Amino acid sequence: MAAGPLRATAFRGDEDVAELHHFFLPEQQFDGDVLWSFGTSLKSAYVNNFEFMNHAPVVQLWRDDHEEVQAVSRISLGQGEWFHQAAPRFRSNAVTVSIIEQADAALALLSDYGSWRTVRYESDLQGLELLAQHGYQPEGRDEVFMSMALGVALSAAPQPDGVEIRLLDETDSEELRERGLAQVDAFSQGPPTAEGVAWVHRTIPHQLAYGAQGQSSNVVAIEADGTCLALADVFFDPVHRIGEFEPVATRPSARRRGLASAVLHRGLDEMRRAGMTQAIVRTGVDNAAAIAAYESVGFLITDHRISLRKKR
């Protein structure tokens, strides 16, 4: 039976966060396409913005006749971009067109950008065609999607000198602080700002809670003095036995020491112990170092994300 139309409703803040978490559960999103099987990357992008409102997003929850959330769109006025995700039963042309048209109208009315962007994976031919019909032109690839089977034997894990590769102790406040500092250091352009450090410390508790209890592991590379040099957060989809890395990072001062490969190996071991049969990860198309690290442990590029732009 075809799904009916959806009604756009406002995001009301904290009272809707639980519904968002439920919406992104793997059993809600999986339709045989591993691109969105677990959606940790999506969840972090949505929930962080919903909870902390960093980029002035207009958030819409698209509900069915039973008032259940079946699609979510985030229109970031401060960045001139929008994204959406729909439950499998509602991935229809009619629903997608409604979301595209609303995003276009909101950005035209509420932003002063001369153009705005969204993204699709290359394998989503139908989605790309609908965006083309609405005036969106491809700008190029901006992200790679990589996957690997976990039934094959892994190469020997690196053993960096003077560094312990283990799971994060979430009960140790100082270790949590170090984990946060390592993340912001790894992803900063230049020295981390005070604002960046404050933001990551606010979001770390939420980030570590994205997986349900027992469905995530947080791998860290720790020096003898307690400094966190690298990290790999691992999430498990026990319904479909798919594991996802998000994020993986190494501090600039600790790169080229095999730490990324070391935390990835430990993360893959954690996935296998948890019964996962496939692993996935995403990274920027220009992030050659990360792509090389993922390929070194067995990942292959299986799709690309495309950035598309529409002129006002």
Does 100 reside within a domain?
yes
Q: Are residues 65 and 163 in the same domain?
A: no
pLDDT tens across 203-212, in order?
777 666 665 6
Give the chain's length: 312
Q: Are residues 161 and 270 in the same domain?
A: yes
The residue out of 113, 142, 174 marking a domain boundary is 113
Written as six digits, the tokens of 192 are: 């981390």
Does 310 reside within a domain?
no
Q: Are residues 212 and 103 in the same domain?
A: no
> Residue 298: its pLDDT value, please?
93
Mean pLDDT, residues 166-175 taken together = 91
Q: Are residues 62 and 176 in the same domain?
A: no
> Residue 53: its pLDDT value, please?
46
Does 312 reside within a domain?
no
Mean pLDDT, residues 88-109 taken together = 94
Does 81 reside within a domain?
yes
Q: Are residues 105 and 158 in the same domain?
A: no
The packing angle between helices 40-52 and 194-208, to 10°, is: 120
Q: Is residue 238 scored above 90 in pLDDT?
A: no
- Comparing CA positions, the residue from 44, 49, 39 lying closest to residue 11 is 49
The residue out of 113, 137, 161 marking a domain boundary is 113
pLDDT tens across 281-290, in order?
999 999 999 9
Q: Are residues 108 and 163 in the same domain?
A: no
Using only the alpha carbons of the chain, give its radius of gyration.
Answer: 20
pLDDT tens across 127-138, in order?
999 999 999 999
> Residue 188: its pLDDT value, please?
84
Q: How many domains does the chain have?
A: 2
Under 8 Å between Cβ of 63 and 3: no
- In angstroms, rounded to a whole number, what is the distance separating the alpha carbons of residues 92 and 112? 30
Tell me the average pLDDT of the chain.
Answer: 86
pLDDT tens across 34-53, in order?
665 445 555 555 555 555 54
Q: Are residues 249 and 200 in the same domain?
A: yes
Which of the listed ranges 4-13, 25-34, 288-297 does the model predict with the highest average pLDDT? 288-297
Does 104 reside within a domain?
yes
Under 8 Å between Cβ of 226 and 178: yes
Residue 232: pLDDT band (50, 70, 90) is very high
Does 287 reside within a domain?
no
| Residue with tokens 């508790």, as numbered in its chain | 205
Q: Is residue 28 scored above 90 in pLDDT?
A: no
Which of the listed ranges 157-161, 163-167, 179-183 does the model predict with the highest average pLDDT? 163-167
Q: Are residues 185 and 266 in the same domain?
A: yes
Domain of 75 in residue numbering reads as: 7-113
Under 8 Å between Cβ of 101 and 134: yes
> Residue 182: its pLDDT value, please?
92
The CA-atom distances, in angstroms, between 287 and each of 104, 200, 291, 294 are 30, 22, 6, 11
Contacts of 174 (CB under 8 A, 6+ apart): 226
Mean pLDDT, residues 285-306 taken together = 94
Q: Are residues 101 and 177 in the same domain?
A: no
For the beta carbon of residue 229, count every other beta carbon within 10 angstroms: 25
Does 48 reside within a domain?
yes
Under 8 Å between Cβ of 114 and 312: yes
- CATH assignment of the domain containing 105: 3.40.630.30
Does 267 reside within a domain?
yes
Q: Are residues 167 and 94 in the same domain?
A: no
